[in-house]
Amino acid sequence: MYRIRFMLVLFLVAITMTACTRTLSPEEQQQVADLQAELERVRADITSAETANAKLAGGLVKALIEARLEILKTTEALIQQRIHAIEAGVPIEMTMTGTNPDPELAARLAEEMTKLEADLAAARAEAAKYSGGLIAAVTNATVATHEQTLAMLRQQYVAAKYGLAVPTISLQNTGATTPATVPTSVDPASIPSDMLPSDVRKEIISVRLLDKRFDDTNIQKYIWFDIEFTAAGLDKPARAIKGKLILQDLFGEPQMYIGWTINEPLQPGQVFVEKGSGFRFNRFRKEDQWVLATSLNDMTASFAVESILYTDGTRRDFDPLP
Q: Alpha-carbon distance 192 to 187, whole Å?
A: 11
pLDDT value, residue 290: 93
- Burial environment of residue 17 by CB neighbours within 10 A (0 to 12, 13 to 18, 19 or more): exposed
**pLDDT surpasses 60 at 13:** no
Pick 15 or 156 by higher pLDDT: 156
Return all residues near 53 (Cβ < 8 A) that are at least 6 apart: 62, 65, 66, 69
Pick 23 or 48 by higher pLDDT: 48
Q: Which residues pair with 277 in a beta bridge?
A: 225
Q: How confident is the model at residue 322 (pLDDT cuts 50, 70, 90)?
A: low
Q: Is 262 helix (H, G, I), strand (E, B) or coil?
A: strand
Q: What is the pLDDT of residues 265-301, one digit of tens each?
A: 999 889 989 988 888 888 888 899 999 999 999 999 9
Q: What is the pLDDT of residues 208-265, one digit of tens each?
A: 999 999 987 767 788 999 999 999 888 889 999 999 999 999 888 899 999 999 998 9
List Cα–Cα distances, 288 to 25, 57, 172, 212, 220, in angstroms. Answer: 63, 32, 60, 13, 14
Pick 311 or 89 by higher pLDDT: 311
Report the percent of the chain where pLDDT is more than 90: 22
**pLDDT surpasses 70 at 182:** no
pLDDT value, residue 86: 77
Are the CB atoms for 211 and 194 separated by under 8 Å? no
pLDDT value, residue 223: 92
Q: What is the pLDDT of residues 102-128, one digit of tens each?
A: 788 888 888 888 888 888 888 888 888
pLDDT value, residue 3: 44
Q: In 10 A of CB 66, how many CB atoms?
A: 15
AA letter at 91: P
Q: Which residues pair with 246 in a beta bridge?
A: 257, 302
pLDDT value, residue 240: 92
Q: 145 phi and psi, to 5 degrees?
A: -65, -45
Pick 303 or 150 by higher pLDDT: 303
Q: Alpha-carbon distance 76 to 45, whole Å?
A: 10
Render 56-85 in DSSP notation, one character per residue: --SSHHHHHHHHHHHHHHHHHHHHHHHHHH
**pLDDT surpasses 90 at 1:** no
Nearest Cα residue to 123 out of 248, 208, 213: 208
Helices (H), the chain: 2-18, 26-54, 60-88, 103-127, 133-162, 200-204, 286-293
Report the percent of the chain where pLDDT is more than 70: 76
pLDDT value, residue 318: 82
- Burial environment of residue 259 by CB neighbours within 10 A (0 to 12, 13 to 18, 19 or more): exposed
pLDDT value, residue 205: 92
Are the CB atoms for 184 and 233 separated by under 8 Å? yes
Q: Alpha-carbon distance 21 to 39, whole Å?
A: 22
pLDDT value, residue 200: 65
Nearest Cα residue to 237 out of 311, 147, 126: 311
- Burial environment of residue 193 by CB neighbours within 10 A (0 to 12, 13 to 18, 19 or more): exposed
Q: Which residues pair with 315 in a beta bridge?
A: 309
Are the CB atoms for 268 and 185 separated by under 8 Å? yes
pLDDT value, residue 26: 85
For residue 274, give the H/E element and its range: strand 271-280
pLDDT value, residue 66: 84
Helices (H), 164-243: 200-204
- Burial environment of residue 287 by CB neighbours within 10 A (0 to 12, 13 to 18, 19 or more): middle
Q: Which residues pair with 41 in a beta bridge?
A: none
Q: Which residues pair with 245 in a beta bridge?
A: 258, 303
Pick 312 or 146 by higher pLDDT: 312
Describe the strand order of the beta sheet including 222-230 as a list of residue ranges. 206-215, 222-230, 271-280
- Which of the residue ranges 57-71, 73-87, 117-131, 186-200 would you say has the lowest mean pLDDT? 186-200
pLDDT value, residue 22: 60
pLDDT value, residue 317: 87
